[in-house]
Amino acid sequence: MKKCNRCGCFFIGDNDVCANCLPIDANDKAKLIDYCETNKSLLFSDIIHSTGVSSTNLSRYFSSTEFSQYSKNIQYNDICKKINLN
């Protein structure tokens, strides 16, 4: 059993999120990739503001290998420095 990273429910599977949240997660990732591809400067707070993706979910995406090519370019302002990226 795994715990869904979005809604907190328990589910069986290999994903980070449950089946209900999978399409929402995919939508967030698509927005995020689009943002990272079109913006040269990646400021964490700007990404939250522009994409509407929560900081918790952003941290999760950027700590995944899927987003490793973008995560190294992200800049954090003072507010977001406290967010722990693994």
* 21 lies in the binding site for Zn ion (CB under 5 A): yes
Least distance (Å) from Zn ion to the CB of residue 25? Answer: 8
* 7 lies in the binding site for Zn ion (CB under 5 A): yes
Complex with Zn ion: residue 4 or 74, whichever CB lies closer = 4
Give the Cα separation of 50 and 65 in Å (integer). 22
Least distance (Å) from Zn ion to the CB of residue 75? Answer: 30
In DSSP terms, 74 is beta-bridged to 42
* 18 lies in the binding site for Zn ion (CB under 5 A): yes
CA distances from 62 to 10, 12, 56, 73, 86 (A): 23, 24, 10, 10, 9
In DSSP terms, 43 is beta-bridged to 75
Residues that bind Zn ion in the complex, under the rule CB under 5 A? 4, 6-7, 18, 21
